[in-house]
Structure 1
Amino acid sequence: MSVKCKACGAQVPADAKTCPGCGAAVSAKTKLLPLAAFMLIVILIIQSYMGKSEEAQSEAKSASPVSSAQQ
């Protein structure tokens, strides 16, 4: 599979680092899908831990012992 050179428009082999026509550097395509999936997983894990700490705090407040002054 070949790609087009951004500088001159010539067809460049997919494994080439430079364009055979003009010598311009050919940028490699970045694979964003694995990076996006990883970031989504990290965000969900962080969000789940934050939710658990808020639930634990609210349960601790509601389960506080009644003092003798309040009786």
Structure 2
Amino acid sequence: MAHTCKDCGAAVAATDKKCSVCGEELVAKPKLLPIAAFMLIVILVIQAYMDKPEEKESVPAEPAKAASQ
């Protein structure tokens, strides 16, 4: 699949690192999978902390009073 040089507009091969016409370095597109995996991990960690129940201080219960005398 051929790409186009952003500097001069010439068609270049997908495997080329530089344009064969003007010599401009071609920028590779970033891979989406590592970015998506990182974002998924971040979301899961945040969700785990948000779902964690808050620990409340427990108040000791008063002993049951004796039945009416």
Q: Same fold (TM over 0.5)?
A: yes
Which of the two has greater helix per residue?
Answer: 1
Give unpaired runs (5+ residues) of structure 2: none
Q: Distance in 2 between matches of 1:6 and 1:29?
A: 13
- Listed as ranges, the matches of 1:41-56 within 5 Å are 41-52=41-52, 55-56=53-54
- Listed as ranges, the matches of 1:52-71 within 5 Å are 52=52, 55-57=53-55, 60-61=56-57, 63-66=58-61
Deviations 1:24-69 (A, max 9, x none): 01001111243123212222123213421xx141xx44x432257x
Aligned-CA RMSD value:
2.3
- Listed as ranges, the matches of 1:14-25 within 5 Å are 14-25=14-25
Q: Indicate the percent of aligned positions where both proteins have the same amino acid.
A: 52
4+ residue runs over 6 A deviation: none
